[in-house]
Amino acid sequence: MNQNLFATFARRMRERGDADFITTREGRGYRHAEALATTERLAGALVELGVTPGDRVAVQVDKSAEAILLYLATLRVGGVYLPLNTGYTGEEIHYFLTDAEPALFVCRPGDAENARRIAADSGCPQIATLGSTADGSLMEAAETATPRDAIVASDANDLAAILYTSGTTGRSKGAMLTHRNLGSNAATLVEAWHFSEEDRLIHALPIFHTHGLFVACNVTLMAGSSMLLLPKFDVDVIFEEMPRGTVLMGVPTFYTRLTADARLTPEVTANMRLFVSGSAPLTAETHREFERKTGHAILERYGMTETNMNLSNPYDGERRAGTVGMPLPGVEYRITDRKTHEPVPKGEIGMLEIRGPNVFKGYWRMPEKTREELLEDGFFVTGDLAMVDERGYVHIVGRDKDLVISGGYNVYPKEVEQVIDELEGVHESAVIGLPHPDLGEGVTAVVVPEPGAHLDEAQVLDHLQGQLAKYKQPKRVFFADSLPRNTMGKVQKNQLREQYQDTYR
């Protein structure tokens, strides 16, 4: 039996035939059968450009329906899809092409000249271009290429994709994801989140990331449903489209902006059945306010580049604010001592480790890093600190690398942030540890005030008195207009640590 993930998708696409698959606000799009036929032509172009089974296809293009079909065509020919953040610079692209050694690099038409130079310097033999309106040399090649209707036979453990991590703590690591990893997770999510052919997903996420590509697109394909493909998140557009949508997948920023808008009502969300949030922590305040305004409880879940989705609040049952729920079917977790990997007592904070068919194969050409994070018993060390409450819901309390050790005591930033965020006039906060001559690390807060609010350091520190132990209280409080975030909405605390590194020196 062919275990190529695309073989599963192709069966569903044939079954769905003339039903919508991808639509856009401009009226362009593909029905399932049209999309399937286009993957045959794109597959023909890939083969003529020299892509063979196991070859990497690196892609840095703007979001489009054709970019999704390129992903599918890469799977069809047995290739390994390698999406790259559209914000990466030429120097960063050079690193990825040198490290991954792709057979083909697909870029935006306007980047072709620079891409040829980078490809030549990094040893990549071919480049092609793909624009956001079905333009570019790849689509031209697909028009004249011999269509490839065969689906290359793949084993479940063959690579389907490589996704590079953000590299905030060193050089980026390529997470190797197999057909089994992606297929099992998509099937699990279809069941867990009750997806059906009737669903219409409002897709406003980037497609170079696990959330927008493997969760949103794979689940849509597995369910045989449809998606409205938006180039980016736009509050006005989301309000216009919700009456015709059923599901929105987003990052917390989506929901904070929607919640702050007077147009968010039960009436405008009446056709929607599910709002999913992930990629960064959603505040309990946003969760509660969104539910108060709409009657919908946001479903928060937890996933990673290396594992796809692991934990989820229930579809049926209480969706608890401030938690990421329980393990998805087939996924195991444990919370352990950071050094010994031995489980800690329930209710205590420890390292979250994950095991299941969704867990990646390892890091591309990094065997030592793989052994360090992918343990012999199959558990993956996520780097996230967590605890499980009395009802079995998992709480993520922060990244291990963000843990502050001040005077020998562990300080979990999220605990401090939650108390700061309760202060009137505070929009959000980030707590970091900075080098301190006396304490090792000094707890430090960076606060973003609400528009028009007037806060000072003394007010914040006074608010914390009596609510947190002295060692948890910040030694300094700074104010900023906003917090630095990556494209998925995660606060980049490494940038804050760099900005304020000399505070106690």
The ranges of the chain annotated as CATH 3.40.50.12780 are: 192-399
- Which residue, 429, 35, 4, 447, is CA-closest to 220? 35
Instruction: Give the CA diameter of the chain.
Output: 72
- Average pLDDT value for residue range 44-59: 98
CATH architecture assigned to 5-20+29-154: 3-Layer(aba) Sandwich (3.40)
Residues written for the chain: 505
**Alpha-carbon dihedral sign for residues 59, 64, 67, 72:** positive
Q: Does residue 395 or residue 398 have the better pLDDT?
A: 395
The tokens 């998992």 sit on which residue? 394
Predicted confidence at residue 32, as pLDDT, reads: 98
Whole-angstrom distance, CA of residue 213 vs CA of residue 85:
12
* Per-residue model confidence (pLDDT) at position 170: 54
Q: Is 13 helix (H, G, I), strand (E, B) or coil?
A: helix
- Adjacent-strand bridge partners of 128: 106
Buried b (16+ CB within 10 A) or exposed e, 277-296: bbbebbbbbbbebbbebbeb
CA distance linking residue 448 with residue 430, whole number of Å = 9
449 CA to centre of own chain: 27
Q: Is 362 helix (H, G, I), strand (E, B) or coil?
A: strand
CATH of 192-399, one of 3.40.50.12780, 3.40.309.10, 3.10.330.20, 3.40.50.2300: 3.40.50.12780
Query: Per-residue pLDDT for 437 more than 80?
Result: no
> Rounded to an integer, what distance in angstroms lies between the CA atom of residue 21 and that of residue 284?
34
Around Cβ 93, how many Cβ atoms within 10 Å?
23
Query: What is the rounded radius of gyration, in angstroms, for the C-alpha atoms of the chain?
Result: 23
Predicted confidence at residue 405, as pLDDT, reads 83
Sheet holding 426-436, edge to edge: 426-436, 440-449, 476-479
Q: How far apart are CA 307 and CA 360, in angstroms?
A: 6
Above 80 in pLDDT, residue 409?
no
pLDDT tens per residue across span 109-163: 999 999 999 999 999 999 999 999 999 999 999 999 999 999 999 999 999 999 9
What 3-state class would DSSP assign to 495? helix
SS3 category, 334: strand
Query: Is the CA virtual torsion 43, 44, 49, 53 positive or negative?
Result: positive
Look over the chain and give the mean of its residue pLDDT values, rounded to a whole number: 94
How many of the other CB atoms lie within 10 Å of CB of 482?
Answer: 8
Which residues of the chain form CATH 3.40.50.980?
A: 5-20+29-154
Closest to 398 in 3D by CA, of 438, 436, 433, 354: 433
Q: Assign residue 434 a region (left: φ > 0; alpha: ψ between -120 and 50; beta: otherwise).
A: beta
**Contact yes or no for 188/308 (Cβ under 8 A):** no
pLDDT of residue 169: 44
- Residue owning tokens 């333009």: 135
Q: What is the pLDDT of residue 252?
A: 87
Helix (H) or strand (E) holding 427: strand 426-436
Highest mean pLDDT out of 84-88, 168-172, 299-303, 469-473: 299-303
Instruction: Name the token pair of 384.
Output: 């996230």
Number of neighbouring beta carbons within 10 Å of residue 91: 8
Q: List pLDDT tens digits, range 150-175.
A: 999 999 999 999 999 864 445 789 99
Query: With 60 as the cut, is the pLDDT of residue 59 above it?
Result: yes
pLDDT band at 438 (very low <50, low <70, confident <90, very high): confident
Q: Which CATH architecture has domain 403-499?
A: 2-Layer Sandwich (3.30)
- Per-residue pLDDT tens over the stretch 245-302: 999 999 888 998 999 999 999 999 999 999 999 987 888 888 999 999 999 999 999 9
Q: Region of 451 please: left (phi>0), alpha (psi -120 to 50) or beta.
A: beta
- Pairing relationship of beta strands 104-107 and 29-31 according to DSSP bridges: unpaired
84/75 Cα distance (integer angstroms):
17
Tokens for 90, please give them. Answer: 């030429």
Distance CA 345, CA 74 (A): 46
Q: Is 60 exceeded by the pLDDT of residue 16?
A: yes
User: Is the torsion defined by CA of 334, 338, 341, 347 positive or negative?
Assistant: negative
